[in-house]
Amino acid sequence: MRLILTTLIGLLILLVNEAWWRIKRPNDEISRKAVHIILGCFVAFWPYYLSWLDIELLGVAVFISIYISKHVKYFSSHFKLFKGMRDVRRTTWGEFFFAISVTLIALITHDKLIYTIAILSMGLADGLASIFGTYFGKRTNYKIFNSTKSLVGSLAFFITMIILLSIYHTHASHPSNLLFLLVLALTATALENISILGLDNLFVPLLIAVALR
């Protein structure tokens, strides 16, 4: 029952975002990242009411659903759902890597706090970096591997990671060294900067999950 309810809530978030996008046609990057943050925060707390097997299965189901909607010709041409999320001007596989991360992290660790921090590093830190960079970082833009980044966005990502890792340090049963957490935040920020095609949705949360185990 919890698994079905979780699936329905996830679909509801996507449908509300889709309706908002079709009616208002806001900045597509902001719309995409807003739902990225909401879904990321939602997924981050799955271990507190779902089993690890449920989370792994949901991750696989999401991956398959995204693949069908984007690459199976009949569905991609006849069912143009979630255009607000998929209408991205750059090439990205971020949605696929998001789903893969959810499953892999659930396999890597059964520590609820580590899972939550790892998923939030993808859903919250990355989303806020993009929004702050889009709104306030245009004058600080730079290119890495033909991907546009900004100093403002990177700073937002780093600060968010510091906050998340501070929460981990406060609540973990075996907290890590503060210098180690600072280095981890810097490493995650650098990794987010150089990742292309949405690979940061895979590399960053995996780095956090493995480092905090």
What pLDDT, in 10s, does the model give residues 101-150?
Answer: 999 999 999 999 999 999 999 889 988 998 888 888 778 887 777 777 88
Report the pLDDT averaged over residues 153-180. 92
What pLDDT, in 10s, does the model give residues 149-166?
Answer: 889 999 999 999 999 999
Tally of structural domains, the chain: 1
Residue span of the structural domain in which 179 resides: 2-212
Assess contact for 89 and 132: CB atoms under 8 A.
no
| Per-residue pLDDT at 92 | 64
Give the other-Cβ count within 10 Å of 78's Cβ.
7
φ and ψ at residue 6, rounded to 5 degrees: -60, -45
φ and ψ at residue 147, rounded to 5 degrees: -110, 130
Choose among 188, 194, 149: nearest CA to 168: 188
The C-alpha atoms of residue 27 and residue 50 are separated, in whole angstroms, by: 34
Look up the pTM and report it: 0.86
Report the pLDDT averaged over residues 49-74. 80
What pLDDT, in 10s, does the model give residues 8-51?
Answer: 888 787 777 666 666 665 556 667 778 888 889 999 999 999 99
| Per-residue pLDDT at 74 | 44
175 half-sphere exposure, CB direction, 13 A CA radius? 13
